[in-house]
A and B are shown apart, each in its own frame.
Chain A
Amino acid sequence: MIEAAVIGVGQTKYEAKRRDVSMGGLVRKAIDKAMFAADVDWDAIDAVILGKAPDMFEGVMMPELSLVDAIGANGKPLLRVHTAGSVGGSTAVIAASHVCSGNFDTVLTVTYEKQSESNATWALSPKYPYSPHINAGAGGYFAPYMREYIRRYDAPENIGWKVAVKDRLNALKNPLAHLQIPGIDEKMVAETPMLWEPLRYLESCPSSDGACAMVISNKKLAESRNAAWIKGMAVRSEGTLSAGRDEVNPQGGQDCAKDIYDQAGITNPFKEIDCAEIYVPFSWYEPMWLENLHFCDLGEGWKLTERGATEIEGDIPFNMSGGVLSSNPIGASGMIRFGEACLQVTNQAGDHQVDGANVAMGHAYGGAAQFFAMWIVSNKK
């Protein structure tokens, strides 16, 4: 049984270039907001857990060294987590595990990426030794699996456009979201340039600067606060180059979801989860993850998207904040999903609040879709 709750979430404004702050300033902005929301000062923080995606993304190696002051870790236990794009999620799970261990009452956790300082697509597209230089960023890697999903279940082309529109309309209700595209519609998405077939420009995530922080505590502090109680949390990985691997519906994702549902006592996620922040960096990953996370049967995901089930007013709202498709500071993107789930169940999500949300899910994936991190939060202890 997990006894840990998120008592404060802090996020920066997400933008293409945060030239107004250094990396240290960026993480501190998120931390200050999280600690203000949690109503705690530095004396209450027993350990600090930092997460970010590959160091190559900015070219700053081991940023946890230079960030010690900015994240308030002087004289405190500090751990840096790295699991590629899923890192924001696994960092949250590691931080909560520290609280569950009983050794720490309250843990501060923060994740960030300042992508404007270098080029993530370059960092993801190296020439591997003894191989032709084909790698073409994250979109180039994942596009063949989206194509296979479309083939396998005969999904119509406009499903991807629909997801791209839905998440950007949600972003208009979230002042922190990077992309703000008033008037976006399927026609606008369909007319944007093809990047990696079948994926068009507006079906892909932006490159953002930003940070997200959370304060996680046990019942001593959480019982007197508007807390999001963690009901289930898990991480999973799977072998990258394994025979029988299905990247359209990865086993690691299925197992991780099953694990957190079992912990939370959820038998029907579609009915029992009120809303979810799911890592969808490319449009087609919404229907793919609807299926992978057991919200519906295989081949039914695109039909849920098509009938509007994932809209804010729908049966299972996905990415009310605008999601990764609207803001993608990669290292923070997973934690934003986890933190937004907390904001929903504590009724702090503002204009993108789902009415009456009591149980929400946060999800992240990363690497070659072989790292997964997820949690379920509730406003009831």
Chain B
Amino acid sequence: MSEEKKDFFVSDISLSYQYTAGNATTRFLNKVAEGKLVAQKCPKCSAVYVPPRGSCPRCGVATEEELELPDTGAVESFTIVHIPIPGNPIVPPYVSAMIRLDGADISFLHLIQEIDLADIRIGMRVQAVWKDKSDWGTTLENIKWFKPTGEDDVDPSVFKFKE
């Protein structure tokens, strides 16, 4: 048997890195470790950021004022992922949703469960489902996923930023 001629080889690359979270994220994550979602507010336009990055991209100013937000909110939009993503352990289909916490002016991505995927919609009210307290760390993974609250949907116009 002749061996097939190969003009390429496969090489795996791995990289370990050290991530410096920075002041704003560190403060946020230390509160997440206590089960609290603490946003930061822009002193100029009053936009509320969660997770906070320490500044407001609209105004270019630091966000010092902190405020605790509830773990409830609404779905700004979402997709249902049907294909396996290389390197991602989550088994499809799963929902990747933009969650807008009550009182926040930006959304973050998280999972939605405890509902038929076909019933998820923009404007649906949701609440965080937390892991057991003994498993909490400095990570948004303390929230397992969001689940519907059963309240009436919000009108999507609430997601529009009002200065």
Chain A residues packing against B (C-beta within 8 Å)? 19, 59, 119, 121-122, 125-127, 129-137, 139-140, 143-145, 147-148, 151-152, 193-199, 239-245
Contact = CB atoms under 8 A, between A and B. Distances in A.
Contacts of B85: 121-122, 125, 135-137, 140
B87 A125 contact: yes
Main secondary structure on A side of the interface with B: loop
B96 A140 contact: yes
Contacts of A19: 7-8
A249 to B, nearest CB: 12
A329 B82 CA distance: 24
A151 to B, nearest CB: 6
Residue from A125, A134, A193 with most neighbouring chain B CB atoms (10 Å): A134
B57 A134 contact: no
A122 B86 contact: yes
A283 to B, nearest CB: 14
B81 interface: yes
Interface of B: 7-8, 11, 13, 19, 21, 25, 29, 42, 45, 47-49, 53, 56-58, 76-83, 85-90, 96-98, 105-106, 109-111, 122, 138-141, 143, 156, 160-161, 163
A59 B13 CA distance: 8
17 contacts: A121-B85, A122-B85, A126-B87, A127-B88, A130-B141, A136-B79, A139-B79, A148-B156, A193-B82, A195-B83, A196-B83, A241-B53, A242-B56, A243-B49, A243-B57, A244-B161, A244-B163
A294 to B, nearest CB: 21
B18 to A, nearest CB: 10
A243 B58 contact: yes
Q: Which 3 A-B pairs have the closest CB atoms?
A: A239-B57, A244-B161, A243-B47
B79 A242 contact: no
Contact of A134 (B21, B53, B82, B109): B109
Given A241-B49, A242-B58, A243-B47, A130 B140 contact: yes
